[in-house]
Structure 1
Amino acid sequence: MSNRVNVNTHDPTGGIFAALALLGGTAAVGAGLLARRPHGDLAALESIPSRLVPARRSFPFAPSPTVDRRHAVKAARRLNRAAGLIATSVLLDSAVEHYRGAFSNKAMYTPIVVSALSLAASLHGHRDRNTVAHRMRDGVYALAGLTGVVGTGFHIYNVGKRVGGFSWQNLFYAAPLGAPAAISLSGMVGFLAERVRDNRPGTLPTVVGLPAGRVVGLLTSLGLLGTVGEVGLLHFRGAYHNPAMLVPVTLPPAAAALLGAASLGRARQPRPFTRWWLRVTGLVGVLGVGFHAVGVARNMGGWRNWTQNIQAGPPLPAPPAFTGLALAGLAALGLLQDQPDER
């Protein structure tokens, strides 16, 4: 009795370039669709005194002439940039990992397309100085959030159906449980950016009736902790053979704690130490790419065998997720200081 094994003997380089071309085309189409100006009639309301503008929300906040909407737009654009950086990380990481899996399930194309759209939406939001939400950006970000939730379900199923179920072996080498949540983070941060923009002129930015700075800060803290959990599992798989592998599981949790404390504490505080720690966390994401590049070079054949070693890992695009979340945390601190909810 013999088992026949199908081996792909073709050079995969052409497939990689074709995939990149597909992704670039998707991003270009998404950017073109998002280029339409939204809510032109509502954008014009910013030039009208706030007492003459009907409320766009049902939240019982009285207009305040001291509120400068430019700060809210600045924070929203920061969040758009953060969402775009996280989407870029997801786009490249999922493309490599799912290409390695030969796209055995057609659903594996979904995070690539959705993260490309999220990146396009974020680039559009970065350029948008209007003080109203963009409906299509909202839709893309909501789709990204849903994609992450569904993807997590697929990955849980992938681990659970293997022999041994949720054993360490399967948690290490099956579909990574926490990876799809990254695209949900991109959608969450982008959706918050639109909520920060879309408030009645003359009022403090809010999200579902709560101060925007506090909501963004708390959710970003949770995002940091979730990302640390995924990194901790994979670095535990690597037995922390390099002491530098401890950095992304020690510095970001401290950043999450500091940001959470700032979100629950008094507003209008400069909090230089928290800002500094978030910047260091962002730097961890940048330096992580370099450390992972060294890890790829240590595989057999080094970078001369890049088509195989990039797939073998460690994953080059993964660390910048920390940078995106750090940017979101800095935007939250900016909202707390520039537009405090305390009187």
Structure 2
Amino acid sequence: MAGDRAALVGSGMALIGLASLAATRFKQQATSRLAGTRRQSAALIGTSDQLDPDAAVHAARRLNRAAGVLAASVLADSAVEHYRGQFHNNAMFTPLVTASLSLAVSAHGNADKRPLAHHARDAVYLLAAATGLVGTVFHSYNVLSKPGGLTWQNLFYSAPLGAPAALSLSGATGFLAERVRDTPPGMPPTIAGVAAGRVVGVATSVGLLGTMGEAGLLHFRGNYQNPFMYVPVSLPPFAAVALGLAALGRTGQRSRWTRALLRLTAAMGYAGAGFHLRGVARQMGGWRNWSQNILNGPPVPAPPSFTGLAMAGLAALGLLEDHPDD
């Protein structure tokens, strides 16, 4: 009996030892798999230690500034153009109000360092985007209702089709800024599950091409009498394509050529305002007849819209470089 009990005890101890060994082995394998999964996740999206917790807010503020430049351009341009139209329709006051609000909330967003989206800014940006869309419908109706309909004459001298779109771009840029800002700390910025840099880059690329089309139409009306008038229809397309390729391609790499093209486009916007000022001065009477010449000369506030879009593109590049997703 004593021998049987000793055998049973020995067998029990052996079973306990085997169970302990199996549990230890299972724990080691599980830990190894978990570590591998964490390494893979870190390689894809980065870890909280690798990501700057303030990076999303910094990118959002850059986009707020871009939205503000676009809003300022629209505010000044629509004020001049609608004053020339004598505000014969009360709706012509609307873009002045919404552009002013967009400019104000953009300044507020630029000063705001909190990593949270702001509901009031969101509401104003959405209102600005909607106002731009409605304005495009109004301007299209203005062109098509003229005798002859969609003709070069009506496109040249009726309500500019592309002008209200700049207000939509301001609203869209600001709204995207709030989505970037609303990123959990330590996580890469995403919009609708897609890397924020890709979304902002593609949207900005499309905006640059649309703005280039409007500039091309008006410069064609001016018969490209100055060689510099070719710049707004030649430089922005290269910047737009380069930015689009960067947004759709491999991320995490510095795009020096794209950055250079966007910076040149931003500078071109300010230079264009200077050229338009010169165009106003060359009208009969010059600046002594400013009240007439500003209304009939080249639109001084329009070119900086390129600057605003280029600023948004540079913010998108920063997001693509700092937060790779491949």
TM (normalized to structure 2)?
Answer: 0.85
* Range moving further from structure 2, 315-324 or 266-275: 266-275
Secondary structure (helix, strand or coil) at the match of 2:163 reads coil
Q: Please state how far the C-alpha of 1:63 moved relative to its aligned partner.
A: 9.0
- Measured in 2, the distance between the counterparts of 1:285 and 1:99 equals 23
Task: Please say if 1:296 is aligned against 2:288.
Answer: no
TM-aligned CA deviation for residue 62 of structure 1: 8.6
* Max Rg structure: 2
**1:124-163 matches, cutoff 5 A:** 124-163=108-147
Unpaired stretches in structure 1, ≥5 consecutive residues = 1-60
User: Is 1:110 equivalent to 2:94 in the alignment?
Assistant: yes
Matched residue, 1:180: 164
Q: 1:80-229 counterparts in 2 under 5 A?
A: 80-229=64-213
Matched, 1:336 2:312: no
Q: Equivalent pairs: percent with the same residue?
A: 65
Listed as ranges, the gaps of 5+ residues in structure 2 are 1-43
Contact 1:63 1:201 (8 Å CA) reproduced: no
Aligned to 1:252: 236
What is the distance in 1 between the residues matched to 2:75 and 2:53?
32
* Aligned counterparts, 1:279-294, within 5 A: 279-294=263-278
Q: How many residues align?
A: 282
CA distance in 1 between counterparts of 2:102 and 2:165 reads 14
Q: How far apart, in 2, do the equivalents of 1:326 and 1:177 lie?
A: 21
Alpha-carbon separation, structure 1, partners of 2:230 and 2:59: 31
With the length of structure 1 as denominator, give the TM-score of the two structures: 0.81
The one-letter amino acid paired with 2:269 is G
- Report what 1:276 is aligned to: 260
Distance 2:104 2:188 in 1: 28
1:266 deviation in Å? 1.1
The CA distance in 2 between the partners of 1:227 and 1:333, in whole Å, is 20
Distance 1:140 1:179 in 2: 19
Partner SS state of residue 69, structure 1: coil
Tell me how far apart the structure 1 counterparts of residues 183 and 257 of structure 2 sit (CA, whole Å).
30
Deviation at 1:270, TM superposition (A): 1.1
> Aligned equivalents of 2:218 and 2:150: distance in 1?
15
The 5 A counterparts of 1:1-150 are 64-65=47-48, 66-150=50-134
Is this contact kept in 1: 2:56–2:183, CA < 8 A? no
Q: Which has the higher helix share?
A: 2
Amino acid at match of 1:161: S
Structure 1 runs, 4 residues or longer, greater than 6 Å off: none
Output the amino acid matched with 1:322.
F
